[in-house]
Amino acid sequence: MRDLAVDLGSLESGKKAVVIAIHGGIGVTGRLDAMGIRPGIVLEKISGQPFGGPVVVQVGRNRIALGFGMACKVQVETGRGENAT
């Protein structure tokens, strides 16, 4: 499968992906880092709401809810994370 870079808000629910970049300032990157979301990690999008609702992701054994705006600042790549555990 060809890798595809999208933002986390646009990622389809149930898909795994690798975080490749975070497009935000020190506050956003620091907050996401504290939650375990940083470039190189594999996460799975559990659910997302239409029209800008919260996005729930699984990082390791933890489920995290992010606001839609923050989720859209996380750039992920599909394909590489699908076979990861």
CA distance 21 to 18: 9
Tokens (6 digits) for 54: 């919260």
User: Where is pLDDT greater, at 83 or 30?
Assistant: 30
pLDDT, tens digit (0-9, with 9 covering 90-100), for 4-31: 899 999 999 999 999 999 999 999 999 9
Spatial neighbors of 40 by CB under 8 A, at least 6 apart, are 18, 19
- In this prediction the pTM is 0.85
Domain ranges for the chain = 4-78
Write the CATH number of the domain with boundaries 4-78. 2.30.30.90
Tokens (6 digits) for 59: 């990082």
pLDDT, tens digit (0-9, with 9 covering 90-100), for 54-78: 999 999 999 999 999 999 999 999 9
